[in-house]
Structure 1
Amino acid sequence: MAKPTIASSGGIRARIQPHISKLVVAPSFAISLVFVYGFILWTAYISFTKSRMLPNFDLIGIKQYVKLWSMSRWHVAIENLFVFSGLFIGICLLIGIVLAILLDQRIRAEGAIRTIFLYPMALSFIVTGTTWKWILNPGLGFEKTMHELGWTSFSFDWLIDPEMALYTVVLAGVWQSSGFVMALFLAALRGVDQDIIKAAQMDGASLPRIYMGIIIPSIRPVFLSAIVILAHLAVKSFDLVIALTGGGPGTSTDLPATFMYVMTFNRNQMGLGAASAMMMLCTVMAIIVPYLYSELRGRKNV
């Protein structure tokens, strides 16, 4: 049997070389195709069946969606999502841009401040939720500390108050995510053309006017990116709520993600849970698709 020559092995290597990158990413692409998009399609199919504890592949049309939108608990979850998303996104943007402008002044403690505010992003939402649950617990955290310091009339029981519990979720979410928004804005501010700023200063424009009239309008794409990222985090918020409030008291902090979990695994309503999951997917797609379209159209125009 003839042994392969050096020339033939070199030819094989030359033919493989252009496809090495594709061969490297092929396994991860195949895994994503099956375990992400495959399960999305499977969930979509299950949402049109009468599956309960176990999958049932008999199609029943849109009955699960009709049942879903007739449930008062689902409407509570949607209302909570709007309140949580609005406050979470708005406060994160406000804190992020203020901190970014502060750090853009090249203050001495920039490194320390940046580290302090970015550190929460290194934590999981489970850790964040558990930590804030201890801090806000009336018998363990902030309220007890105030009582021990002599302020016995102090009360901060938001965690067990159905009217205020949702705001504790907002508080914990803002604490974790505002540093990330700050980093986005700071990178954008540092990328602004300094010649334009110097020209405005030579014309006598004050620093607030430079930021409001020149710098902030020039980083509008970063605002859009931050909103999309924060909205995505808000829609799929699950572990933070579970760790902090468990969806309670009652259903006062129920969100679509926790609703889906309860219906699928606690109530054995797999078809209903799949329908709520598909509604969450539609919400995320409604946010991401227009953003991607605008980004791709902007690149084509360039």
Structure 2
Amino acid sequence: MKQPWLPRLVVAPSFIVSLLFIYGLMAWNGWLSVSASRLLPNYEWAGLANYEALFEMERWWLALRNLAVFGGLFIGGAMALGLLMAILLDQKVRAEGALRTIYLYPMALSFIVTGTAWKWMLNPGTGLEQIVRDWGFENFSFDWLIDSEMAIYCVAIAGVWQSAGFVMALFLAGLRGIDDSIIKAAQIDGASLPRIYWRIIIPSLRPVFFSTLLVVSHLAIKSFDLVMALTSGGPGYATDLPATFMYTMAFSRGQIGLGAASAMMMLATVAAIVVPYLYSELRARR
């Protein structure tokens, strides 16, 4: 006889651990953000003082601006390139399996490896600029990595390179789930293949778009290791993001309360994306 309590008993340890180490630590971080913590945790109530100090810091606003630039390029670039690659592979090309593996391979790497590799490639002294000059183009210059105005674009390029294959896999799965009879019916009516994709297939991928946007946005907001490996937040603070700002404040400058406040703002940003999506999904199921 099946015991109704057995599944709950099996799941209970994982549930308790998740509740303690995920939501418990989130709540602890929230308390630190309204405390007087500095070098060490201090649970004396400080109200919104850390949040006020946070939004008075020019570096925090710079980190938010960098996130807007990086996030827009990263999300838009990864989704556009991933969708394009998925559409190309959906044409039943030869060696599709090999191409799919090649496109997906960057996602198997950590952001640390990606950042280090791109740092080598974009280094003016040893990377792309030096290689092209060795070919005889002495006036060629590509010093974005050390240019405070362009360095954030290097981070975006590296991020798109790593994530585009993952986005491609999501879109390709969605494309393979569309009924072929819809495409055949449109072709009988005389619609060209580009028009079929633009007017029929891509709009049908709306759930995939939302899911992909959710995942890629989450990656953009919490980006830390890619930036640290590629630019370390520099030159100066030119590529500083909220995640690197939080790490610097909490662990390098002994401002735990300020770092916790910035972490809570990152959590609020993620929640602003996730909660409406979950609400729409639950509402659609009902």
Work out which of the residue numbers 101, 114, 127 in structure 2 matches 1:141: 127
1:58 Cα deviation after fit:
0.5
Cα offset, 1:26, TM superposition: 2.1
Q: 2:99 matched to which residue of 1?
A: 113
Q: How many residues align structurally? A: 286
- Which is greater in Rg? 1
Counterparts of residues 1-302 of structure 1 (less than 5 Å): 14=1, 17-300=3-286
2:285 aligns to what SS in structure 1?
helix
Work out the percentage of aligned pairs sharing the same amino acid.
Answer: 65
- Deviation for aligned residue 1:100: 0.7
Structure 1, unpaired ranges of 5+: 1-13
Q: Which amino acid aligns with 2:269?
A: T
Question: What stretches of structure 2 of length at least 5 have no aligned partner?
Answer: none
| Higher mean C-alpha displacement, 189-198 vs 268-277 | 189-198
Instruction: Tell me the secondary structure at the aligned position of residue 55 of structure 1.
Output: coil
- Give CA-to-partner distance per residue, 1:158-202, whole Å, 9 cap, x none: 111100000010001000000011111111111111111111111
Work out the CA distance in 1 between the residues paired with 2:37 and 2:235: 29
Query: After superposition, what is the alpha-carbon deviation per residue over 1:207-253, rounded to whole angstroms, capped at 9, x for unaligned?
Result: 11111111111111111111111111000000110111000000000
- CA drift at 1:23: 2.6
SS of residue matched to 2:4: helix
Deviation track 1:107-139 (CA, whole Å, cap 9, x = no partner) reads 103112111110011111111111111111111
Provide the C-alpha distance between the structure 2 equivalents of 1:268 and 1:258, rounded to a whole number of angstroms: 14
CA distance in 2, matches of 1:166, 1:63: 30
Tell me which amino acid in the other structure corresponds to 2:150. Answer: M
The amino acid of 2:169's aligned partner reads A
Deviations 1:75-111 (A, max 9, x none): 0000000111111111111101111110010010311
State the TM-score, normalizing by the size of structure 1: 0.92
Listed one character per residue, the Cα deviations across residues 252-282 of structure 1 (whole Å, up to 9, x for unaligned) are 0000000000000111000000000000000
Opposite residue 79 of structure 2, the aligned amino acid is L
Of 187-196 and 74-83, more deviation after overlay is shown by 187-196
Residue-by-residue CA offset, 1:41-81 (whole Å, 9 max, x unaligned): 00000101110110001001101000000000000000000
Partner Cα separation in structure 2 for residue 45 and residue 216 of structure 1: 45
Q: How many angstroms apart in 1 are the aligned matches of 2:109 and 2:271?
A: 26
Counterpart CA distance in 1 for 2:235 and 2:143 is 12
Q: What letter matches 1:143 in structure 2? A: E
Structure 2 distance, partners of 1:133, 1:160, is 10
The amino acid across from 1:280 in the alignment is M
Aligned to 1:8: none
Query: 1:4 — aligned with what?
Result: none
Q: TM-score, normalised by structure 2?
A: 0.98
Match of 1:265, SS state, is helix
Deviates more, 1:271-280 or 1:147-156: 147-156
